[in-house]
Structure 1
Amino acid sequence: MQEAEVMYQTGMKILNGSNKKSQKREAYRYLQKAASMNHTKALERVSYALLFGDYLTQNLQTAKEMFEKLTEEGSPKGQTALGFLYASGLGVNSSQAKALVYYTFGALGGNLIAHMILGYRYWAGIGVLQSCESALTHYRLVANHVASDISLTGGSVVQRIRLPDEVENPGMNSGMLEEDLIQYYQFLAEKGDVQAQVGLGQLHLHGGRGVEQNHQRAFDYFNLAANAGNSHAMAFLGKMYSEGSDIVPQSNETALHYFKKAADMGNPVGQSGLGMAYLYGRGVQVNYDLALKYFQKAAEQGWVDGQLQLGSMYYNGIGVKRDYKQALKYFNLASQGGHILAFYNLAQMHASGTGVMRSCHNAVELFKNVCERGRWSERLMTAYNSYKDGDYNAAVIQYLLLAEQGYEVAQSNAAFILDQREATIVGENETYPRALLHWNRAASQGYTVARIKLGDYHFYGFGTDVDYETAFIHYRLASEQQHSAQAMFNLGYMHEKGLGIKQDIHLAKRFYDMAAEASPDAQVPVFLALCKLGIVYFLQYIREANIRDVFTQVDMDQLLGPEWDLYLMTIIALLLGTVIAYRQRQHQDMPGPRPPGPRPAAPPQEAPPEQQPPQ
């Protein structure tokens, strides 16, 4: 057993000390050797790596056998993983009852992911009776751990990218930075561009947007900018010294030096850091009045740390009279800037009814938000990278586990991969029913595309029976709640055809018009639909006119076929395209404008304003 422990420690040392794939694969070779000697922690690591395909070839069967072995030994991680397999039907016959049992055992053993899954199940009523109080119990426990893990410099930033949105809008900015853009900023930083140095420093300090967290690079960039006199860089160096790490040794004296320099220049990050020093006596005597003063200065400039700390002082009555209304005000401001601890404090207030009316619903939603910022959220980026690398099986399994934890973006991404039939680990007959399940869960959390997909699935009978009435309900919800142009267009079509609703040409036109108003992209298809609708209306009119005897004998479906309306729309589209092409040709044949005369010299441009701290 001692040899197994040596193998495990060696593997973990390599795994935590390197970002190179070759070295991580070497680390897993050591972990596999330890796992073969029944080392529990090594078994947990290797089994999850086999499940997700992390640096090992994905093997569901072997992973399942390892999870079963771990479960017999009482491992909460093994129990939670086995519950996931039964919930998702991966390698086993799906059984929500067995999944619930294993999740419960995992939670009793202290597994935070199991608690999070149970919190979501009780919140959404999945396999259990819906219970807000039970959801609150599980989510609060997980949120306590997440909040205690938040450092002064903050944790890694995880980008939440929805695959359906990325495909529907290829030009949409997903928030990821392209490699050539990062290299461009690096080039600017090396040439002495202070703003680029500060930006890259912050990017490497927190990670995210496709860039891994790297405190050494962050420190180097901040140091360069600080030497050039940038107050933001000084303040962030102060934060790094105040927190301490393997790269930057903890030093209250050095942190105080940088905070003072930045605060004297009016920097809110430095002011907030100086407030923390006086609040906790880090390198100075505790002075609540000065702490309050600096937090107020930082908060007035919109810096979230200053707002959070002001809220905490009012909440606890430190240096001021206790005032829950003021605490609530500043916690709300900090939460608008995305501060995790602000969400956590607001959740505590709503859960206990402190300063506000008690609301279990609000508390659960806030705690859920905090829980989804835990370290396990980094799996969202590894799943996305797997998808981009073409490893759809690895991507969908990771998204499915995150979907179980209640991540809406994971539910929609898992449904999307299944909908596209890109993953092979799910049987062909099961892809649409499983996709339907996850579209439904994502829609219940307010995702518009998922709601429209539910309508589509019921309209066309994907994974379920054709049901126009249910499709109509989903389109109507997407139209009323999210003002979706696509949903409005679909409602117009269903009113026009009388599908799931009584045929009504006037309502059809109204929904088509609403779709055109809701989105410029809908104007062309709406124009074509209205042209067709006008002809349909004309035919109905003449059938009811005095020449009824002639036209009542005309059956358009029999004369031109059941898809006559599609043929008509195609003809209209061709005519429209011809007109547009003709007008463009005319425009090209027109003589161009005369070249302008010389313009007066432009006044000198002002220097760009100093970079503001991130919110």
Structure 2
Amino acid sequence: MKLLRPHQACLLAAVLFVSVTQGQDIIGGAQDDVTDDMNENQQQEQQEKAQEEPPEMLRPRLTPEEERFRELQRQHYQEEQERFVAKQSQAQRKVHNSEQERFVAEQAQRKVHNSEQERFVADQVKAQQKMRDSATQRQREAMQRQREAEERTDEGRSVDGWEGGEDDASIPEIGRSQEYYRKGIEVPMPQYNPATTPMPQRQDGFFGSQTEQEDSTQPPDPHPLEEPPTPLEEPPTVGESDMPPPEEVEEEMTDERREQLEKEKDAQRMYDEGMALKNSSRKSEQKIAYTFFLEAAKLNHTESLELVGFAHLFGDYLQQNVTRSLEILQDLADKGSPKAQMGLGFIYAAGIGTNSSQAKALVYYTFAALGGDPLAQMTLGYRYWSGIGVAQSCESALTYYRMVSNKVAEEVSVSGGAAVQRVRLHDEVENPGGNSAMLDDDLIQYYQFLADKGDVQAQVGLGQLNYQGGRGVEQNYGRALDYFQQAAAAGNANAMAFLGKMHSEGAGDAVKPDNNTAFQYFKKAAEQGNPVGQSGLGLMYMYGKGVEQDYSKAFKYFSQAAEQGWVDGQLQLGIMYYSGLGVRRDYKMAIKYFNLASQSGHVLAFYNLAQMHATGTGMMRSCHTAVELFKNVAERGRWAELMMEAHNQYKDGNSNSALVMYTLLAELGYEVAQSNVAYILDQGSRTYVVGQDEVYPRALLHWGRAAAQGYTVARVKLGDYHYYGYGTNIDYEIAATHYRLASEQQHNAQAMFNLGYMHENGLGMKKDIHLAKRFYDMAAETSTDAQVPVSLALMKLGILYGMEYLEQAGQSGQLWTVDLEGYFGAEWDIWLCTLLALLLGLVVLYRRTQR
């Protein structure tokens, strides 16, 4: 038996007492086990207690009043948390109800818009029918006048004895003329000049013999809907002087037609000359091109009128005149021009120069899209995708975006097309020098200096930059060819491969397609292991360009290029697996290589993936994913060049031109353009294309559209606009909702800081210093830029907390019983003196540096 300590003996006695009272027998062996278990449990409890409890000198000494105060404080905090949760639920319900109300209002407005659209479409159909009827009526009147002239001609011939009586029916030509006349058919008359050529004699060989006439089939009636004119039984005899010569009528009509043809030729010639200058890389020549377009537009040349109308709208090459642009585009739209209809739809949608009308905009967009205009199709795709002015429909958006993507995929080369330069004006201001979308002019000049000195890498880099265009450098095949040739002469394989690409695909006027030359360059580059050359050889073997078609060799070279990460090799491998060219068809492998190529931004890779998602080939069909991919492809079209033009206009101080260009791109669904439109309006730039009272509502609209596409800054801006009441009423709860979305979904430090401020001051939610500190700390952890303002906010928060505590302590009578040693430790005075000495040293150092 082990010896028990006093406290253990007491515990054992207690256990024995309980056991006896309950009628249980405790044997000796069980007593030892219980004793050992109790010892172990007591030791474990003592260890846990020692770990949980701080040392005596660090543990705050709390009086019973302080403990009660702490308990009340915990209960108060718990109640505040419950009220906050209830308040948040109420705010969410309020937002949900407001969204429902807005949805109902939008539905009612959509019904009104639909009725307006129906009336507008009916008016357009009536106007077009009226135009067709008037054109048909004018055509009939012209034909009637022609018949009357022929009648007068026949009457004039009766002076010479041709009365057209019954005896004339036996003469072939006269009989046929009378038969044509009775049927209302134009009489075939020979061209002659009565002053120089005698009247043709009536012979069987001129109009054909009597037998041929009887056997020949009569021509069909060209005017089956018209009543044939009743022939005169006895045409009156008319003198020769009264007979209008038919030749003069024909000569007059021919002169008019000839003059019209001359005008059309002159207009087309001026348009062609203007386009040649417009496609030049020089800005001065592009402006001169519009002088030709203006002259051609005076001759009613449709394409020139379209260019002039949009030039007046944008104000880039001609003086900005929205009223004149509206007149030109309205006239062209009435004549059925899809581009003009697209322009009118944009003007009515944006409310530029006229009152905004989404109903008219939607009608003109629809007409233009049916006419094949890609911008209108892209606009409708975005509207159906986002539910703007129409019911949201993924399938409708897929239809329109696929139309545009098909055109873009046809235009881009195998290289994937030029990259879209998405320059955010907000980022340029907030993070100057950090925008990688543009190259500095000094940096380009430095590379040019190195290239002129013979630096091969600089030559290849400038060659690629001029070949593909972008980053502030215009595409220039001539310069690209020169740089590649210099680098290739030095033995650079990459330059040889790009020379092969230029000769294989052609490069404007600089290089004409030449498969033999391309093959030689690709071969030299591939022999050095260059992936661009390997991919080029694979393309030539795959399509049999200059060599015999061989899928095995094509697959081999594509595999070698893809292993080195070259995007063209990955794309072509995906195509071979998708189509089963030289390999067994494998959709999973095709998806794998298309995904790899899409990570490098290849347009055709996005296009092929979109087709597979849209049709469910090799995967589950996903309309949502297909639309996103097709949208990416559509935004890589040639119209994306307007993004850089708008940026240049803004940098040159033409904010009105930049605003119109960005607004058009925003209608097409470009998120960067939407944020740039909102930024220009938000900065208060002087503009006359938008009324002063419409600046903030328009900015709020575009911030909302950009936020819906995932732009974090736009989401924070929405919160700011509802917080300050810009373009809408002040609503702290909605502002907090936007800040919370930006904080939770996009981890935005500014949104976290704003939430902390709103909790600190009780704006839109219950005042809570603890939650305020939590959001301030989160903002500091998320962004280093937020550390300074967060430190100041926390300092202020600490002062407020101290004042609140002193106020509560004073009310409870414990103001002067605060135990500093219990809170800060026994050495709190030493720490305080050290801190004061450090502050004094900083002050002295600052004073010395200021001398």
TM-score normalised to structure 1 length: 0.89
Within a 5 Å distance, the mapping from 1:71-110 to structure 2 comes to 71-110=333-372
The residue that corresponds to 2:627 in the other structure is 364
How far residue 540 of structure 1 moved from its aligned partner, in angstroms, is: 2.0
How big is each residue's C-alpha offset from its partner over 1:71-114, in whole Å with a ceiling of 9 and x where there is no partner?
11111111110110111110110111111011001101110000
Distance in 2 of aligned mates of 1:35 and 1:125 = 38
SS of 1:27 mapped into structure 2 = helix
Which of residues 206, 214, 235 in structure 1 aligns to 2:476?
Answer: 214
AA matched with 1:328: I
Distance in 2 of aligned mates of 1:342 and 1:119 = 21
AA matched with 1:372: E
Which of residues 473, 478, 485 in structure 1 aligns to 2:737?
Answer: 473
Which of residues 531, 534, 540 in structure 1 aligns to 2:804?
Answer: 540
Distance in 2 of aligned mates of 1:584 and 1:311 = 68
Gaps of 5+ in 1: 552-574, 590-615
- CA 1:587–1:360 in 2, change beyond 3 Å: closer, same or farther? farther
The residue that corresponds to 1:610 in the other structure is none
The residue that corresponds to 2:747 in the other structure is 483
Which of residues 406, 409, 415 in structure 2 aligns to 1:147?
Answer: 409
SS of 1:335 mapped into structure 2 = helix
| Segment of structure 1 superposing worse, 63-72 or 194-203 | 63-72
- CA 1:444–1:584 in 2, change beyond 3 Å: closer, same or farther? farther
The residue that corresponds to 1:346 in the other structure is 609
| Segment of structure 1 superposing worse, 175-184 or 87-96 | 175-184
SS of 2:590 mapped into structure 1 = helix
How far residue 583 of structure 1 moved from its aligned partner, in angstroms, is: 8.6
The residue that corresponds to 1:494 in the other structure is 758
Distance in 2 of aligned mates of 1:483 and 1:301 = 36
The residue that corresponds to 1:382 in the other structure is 645
The residue that corresponds to 1:228 in the other structure is 490
The residue that corresponds to 2:783 in the other structure is 519
How big is each residue's C-alpha offset from its partner over 1:194-214, in whole Å with a ceiling of 9 and x where there is no partner?
000000000000011111100
8 Å CA contact 1:21, 1:55 repeated in 2: no
Distance in 2 of aligned mates of 1:285 and 1:175 = 42
The residue that corresponds to 2:714 in the other structure is 450
AA matched with 2:758: M
How far residue 581 of structure 1 moved from its aligned partner, in angstroms, is: 7.2
Q: Are 1:530 and 2:794 matched, yes or no?
A: yes
Which of residues 548, 551, 562 in structure 2 aligns to 1:288?
Answer: 551
Distance in 1 of aligned mates of 2:267 and 2:576 = 50
The residue that corresponds to 2:377 in the other structure is 115
Distance in 2 of aligned mates of 1:409 and 1:268 = 34
Distance in 2 of aligned mates of 1:175 and 1:22 = 25
Distance in 2 of aligned mates of 1:146 and 1:455 = 37
Distance in 1 of aligned mates of 2:429 and 2:312 = 29
SS of 1:430 mapped into structure 2 = helix
Q: Are 1:247 and 2:477 matched, yes or no?
A: no
Gaps of 5+ in 2: 1-262, 816-835
AA matched with 1:460: Y
The residue that corresponds to 2:250 in the other structure is none
The residue that corresponds to 1:565 in the other structure is none
Distance in 1 of aligned mates of 2:753 and 2:842 = 26
Distance in 1 of aligned mates of 2:617 and 2:686 = 48
8 Å CA contact 2:417, 2:603 repeated in 1: no
The residue that corresponds to 1:506 in the other structure is 770
The residue that corresponds to 2:583 in the other structure is 320
Distance in 2 of aligned mates of 1:20 and 1:171 = 27
Distance in 1 of aligned mates of 2:330 and 2:317 = 22
How big is each residue's C-alpha offset from its partner over 1:573-606, in whole Å with a ceiling of 9 and x where there is no partner?
xx9xx999759759989xxxxxxxxxxxxxxxxx
Percent identity over paired residues? 67
The residue that corresponds to 2:679 in the other structure is 416
How far residue 471 of structure 1 moved from its aligned partner, in angstroms, is: 0.4
Distance in 2 of aligned mates of 1:416 and 1:436 = 10
8 Å CA contact 2:414, 2:568 repeated in 1: no
How far residue 22 of structure 1 moved from its aligned partner, in angstroms, is: 2.6
The residue that corresponds to 1:437 in the other structure is 701
8 Å CA contact 1:242, 1:255 repeated in 2: yes
AA matched with 1:98: K
Distance in 2 of aligned mates of 1:78 and 1:303 = 42
Distance in 2 of aligned mates of 1:65 and 1:311 = 50
8 Å CA contact 2:416, 2:602 repeated in 1: no
- CA 1:536–1:273 in 2, change beyond 3 Å: closer, same or farther? same
How big is each residue's C-alpha offset from its partner over 1:26-55, in whole Å with a ceiling of 9 and x where there is no partner?
211111111122111110011111111121
How far residue 286 of structure 1 moved from its aligned partner, in angstroms, is: 1.0
AA matched with 1:377: A
8 Å CA contact 1:396, 1:423 repeated in 2: no
How far residue 23 of structure 1 moved from its aligned partner, in angstroms, is: 2.1
8 Å CA contact 1:399, 1:411 repeated in 2: yes
8 Å CA contact 2:697, 2:728 repeated in 1: yes
Distance in 2 of aligned mates of 1:584 and 1:358 = 70
Distance in 2 of aligned mates of 1:406 and 1:423 = 25
AA matched with 2:628: E
Q: Are 1:36 and 2:309 matched, yes or no?
A: no
Distance in 1 of aligned mates of 2:842 and 2:344 = 61
8 Å CA contact 2:537, 2:554 repeated in 1: yes
How big is each residue's C-alpha offset from its partner over 1:393-450, in whole Å with a ceiling of 9 and x where there is no partner?
0000000000000000000000000111114121111100000000000000000110
The residue that corresponds to 2:147 in the other structure is none
The residue that corresponds to 2:314 in the other structure is 52
Give the greater-gyration-radius structure (CA).
2
AA matched with 2:558: F
Distance in 2 of aligned mates of 1:524 and 1:458 = 26
Distance in 1 of aligned mates of 2:624 and 2:442 = 45
How big is each residue's C-alpha offset from its partner over 1:248-307, in whole Å with a ceiling of 9 and x where there is no partner?
121111101010111110100000001101101112111111111110110010000000
Distance in 1 of aligned mates of 2:776 and 2:760 = 10
8 Å CA contact 1:455, 1:472 repeated in 2: yes
Matched positions, count: 563
Within a 5 Å distance, the mapping from 1:123-272 to structure 2 comes to 123-245=385-507, 246-272=509-535
TM-score normalised to structure 2 length: 0.65
AA matched with 2:593: Y
Q: Are 1:301 and 2:564 matched, yes or no?
A: yes
8 Å CA contact 1:384, 1:395 repeated in 2: yes
Distance in 2 of aligned mates of 1:333 and 1:418 = 40
8 Å CA contact 1:153, 1:240 repeated in 2: no
SS of 2:766 mapped into structure 1 = coil
How far residue 535 of structure 1 moved from its aligned partner, in angstroms, is: 1.4
How far residue 170 of structure 1 moved from its aligned partner, in angstroms, is: 1.5
AA matched with 1:536: L
8 Å CA contact 1:448, 1:478 repeated in 2: yes
Which of residues 723, 743, 759 in structure 2 aligns to 1:459?
Answer: 723
Distance in 2 of aligned mates of 1:584 and 1:335 = 58
8 Å CA contact 1:269, 1:303 repeated in 2: yes
8 Å CA contact 2:675, 2:706 repeated in 1: yes
The residue that corresponds to 1:557 in the other structure is none
8 Å CA contact 1:166, 1:174 repeated in 2: no
8 Å CA contact 2:427, 2:435 repeated in 1: no
How far residue 498 of structure 1 moved from its aligned partner, in angstroms, is: 1.1
Within a 5 Å distance, the mapping from 1:397-416 to structure 2 comes to 397-416=660-679
How far residue 158 of structure 1 moved from its aligned partner, in angstroms, is: 2.8
Distance in 2 of aligned mates of 1:381 and 1:579 = 55
